[in-house]
Structure 1
Amino acid sequence: APRAALYRELLRSETYLLTLDEPLAQGEVKRVTHADASFPVWADKDAELGGVWVPVFPARDRVREFVAARGLRAPRGKEFLWMGHMPGQVFSLLRGVRRFAGVRLYLDRESTVDLHWAEAAALAEGRLPADEPAVFELPVERLIIPAGARLSFGRLPPWPGEEKPRLLYMPEAGRIHPEDVRRLVRLPLGEGRHAWTPCRHFLQILRRLKALGADGAERFVETMLSAQISFEMYGEAEALCEWLLARGQETHGWLGLAAVYGRTRRYEDCAEICGRGAAKYPNERAFHVNGLRALIALGRRDEAARRALAATRLFPQDAVLEGLAQELAAAPSGVEAHG
């Protein structure tokens, strides 16, 4: 169903979050202007992909109903509180939540609407997300389905440029939920034909192909991370990077996090992890490139100029690094900007 009216209402109405914090005194008001590591917002973890979905409510009564329906009990010394926000404000605040995958809007006891990271990002900037599905190209060179794997086809509602879209899914890989079809990836079928599958289901297919030992299964984690970033599933990608770090794969974990932080404009986090990465793994070019871009975005140009000099010595004739170094050389230095 079209969502433009819902998006407009979200941008002009107050919204509420559920938090778990110290009890407030009678009449006390606590203000939170940005998210940090201690931000006590309630979030639900996606058990399959690891990202977190933050419940958002259009009224205070919905918050109470949510707590009651789930039978939630606050730990000793803590209390469930609602946090009200001016129109549109909540979306900017939530983008600072770790592993943030999106918003789950609880309209009433029976109805929820999922707003993916990209939709929340648009609303944070005061823009209306598009009504038609977000579509992506295949994030891998090819996808080989083993002989004997059962595939099913269906129809999707048309959108501009796609009059009769076909849905492809692999039943044994996992279920498709109605919300999933708002984000689709094109699957070439040969002879100029193609079908679409939900991005989330594509990840389920990758997992199923790994279980079947299909070609490319040995690159499963790398492919999974690349696909999540390509599909703007940044909360899920961040969770996968943390999984890699917990298993001692520091280089890959840091590289993935640097990409996630840069694309989600978490420039402080990006600059910090790229600084550590460039110091420990100087031959990983991505740490230098992403770190410089983050420092430039933060206005820390003097620091960026020093790092650019070191990076261009390590990677002479690298066009991207040379371009960043020239950009820094052309701009006035000596002034640090702080957000």
Structure 2
Amino acid sequence: MGATNRAAGARNAVSRASGNSCRSNRSSKAAAICPGHRSEQTSGTDGSENRRTEVTNYPSPVYGWYVTFVLLLGFTFSFVDRQVLNLLVEPIRQDLNVSDTQISFLQGFAFAITYVLASVPIGRMVDRLNRVRIMIWGVLAWSATTIACGLSRNYWQLLIARSGVGAGEATLSPAAWSVLADYFPPDRLSRPISVYLMGPYIGAGIAMIAGAEVLDFTREVSSIEVPLLGALAPWQLTFIAVGLPGILVAALIATIREPVRTGRKEVDLVVPSWGEVWAQVRANKRVYIALHLGVPFIVVMLYGLQSWTPTIMVRVYEWDLADAGRAYGVIALVTGSAG
């Protein structure tokens, strides 16, 4: 995210300055550890030798890929919880007697406003605090609020719970990108990032397919009595069913070791001030303006398509809701992930 990237830029500047200082003193020390570098400096003068030393001091590639797939699982389930609402438009609209506009508010603004507002503060936390713990608490938060969506008895309760899902999910990607950058050297980072970014498409597909199965299973009943919770509609059970696995996802993320931050020691941790952050933005304003204008248009198209495709298949083409979920889920799962 923006704050994390800008902070990384400032850290790189500190790292380069520290590296220059260490190289100037190499003649007096055969092997010195620079404050701004994780790896040991060797006696060689060849830049490629130094790069090889840095690579070998990253954590094990095997463990790095384990971390990548755990984070992929987390990202996948974040999209399951985010996207399952799209399959439940018709039953929610009928049960709560709400309009398409109110449903769209749940799908978009209610989620996005908390996601956006929480992103920058969480990015600052990622720069300062234990990133694995941030992800664990985020997974538990969005899973709990997804379950709360299933326990909602009216539109306003559902709206508040949906906003909580957005705030919780804002924790994952800033921390995940930062962690992956500390498990892989820059020249090997693109593939883990690409694998991680398969999560939205896998998650959207699973959300549609799993939601369809729950709806199909409860097709013959209008409500189900659940101990302590009372009567729940099938759409409510669907939210609960996709929210509960978040406990297991959080437990898996807890197995990840917090890596040493690339280019600095924890004791020398320096986080840029807000003034430095905004100076970085101003210095690269063309990049930031382009991204903040272009990406939202892509997201509007993508999320609009995802949000209403199952409903259009039901209303216009008279598909069964569960069948529509399965068909669209397979399309998202296979073609989205392949891309």
More contact order relative to length (CA 8 Å, sep ≥ 6):
2
Structure with the higher helix share, 1 or 2: 2
TM-score normalised by the chain length of structure 2: 0.24
Structure with the higher strand share, 1 or 2: 1
